[in-house]
Copies of this chain bind each other. A is one copy, B any other.
Amino acid sequence: MSPPVFAVERMVEALLFAAAEPLSAADLAERLPAGAEVAQALAALKARYAGRGVELVCVADRWRLQTAEDLAFLMTQERVEPRRLGRAARETLAIVAYHQPVTRAEIDAIRGVQANRGTLDQLLELGLVRMRGRRRSPGRPVTFGTTDAFLEHYGLASLADLPGAAEMKAAGLLSLDLPEGFEFTPGAGAEAEEDPLEEEAEFHVDYLEGEGEE
Given A15-B74, A161-B133, A161-B197, answer yes or no on A210-B166 (Cβ-Cβ < 8 Å): yes
Of the listed stretches A89-97, A106-114, A117-125, chain B binds A117-125
CB atoms of B53 and A210 under 8 A apart = no
How many copies altogether? 2
Within 8 A of B (CB), among A51-79: 52-54, 65, 67-68, 71, 74-78
**Closest-CB distance, A17 to chain B (whole angstroms):** 5
**Closest-CB distance, A4 to chain B (whole angstroms):** 13
CB atoms of A213 and B198 under 8 A apart = yes
CB atoms of A77 and B31 under 8 A apart = yes
CB atoms of A17 and B161 under 8 A apart = no
Would you call A29 an interface residue if the criterion is a C-beta within 8 Å of the partner chain's C-beta atoms? no
Which B residues lie within 8 Å of A24 (CB)? Answer: none
CB atoms of B163 and A188 under 8 A apart = no
Would you call A12 an interface residue if the criterion is a C-beta within 8 Å of the partner chain's C-beta atoms? yes
Q: Which of B15, B17, B132, B157 contacts A197 (CB 8 A)?
A: B157
Assembly CA distance A15 to B76 (angstroms): 10
Which residue on chain B has the smallest CB distance to residue A158? B197
Which B residues lie within 8 Å of A32 (CB)? Answer: 74
Q: Beta-carbon contacts of A123-156 to B below 8 Å, as 1s and 0s?
A: 0100000011110000000100000000000011
Would you call A46 an interface residue if the criterion is a C-beta within 8 Å of the partner chain's C-beta atoms? no
Given A68-B14, A155-B132, answer yes or no on A211-B183 (Cβ-Cβ < 8 Å): yes
CB atoms of A171 and B54 under 8 A apart = no
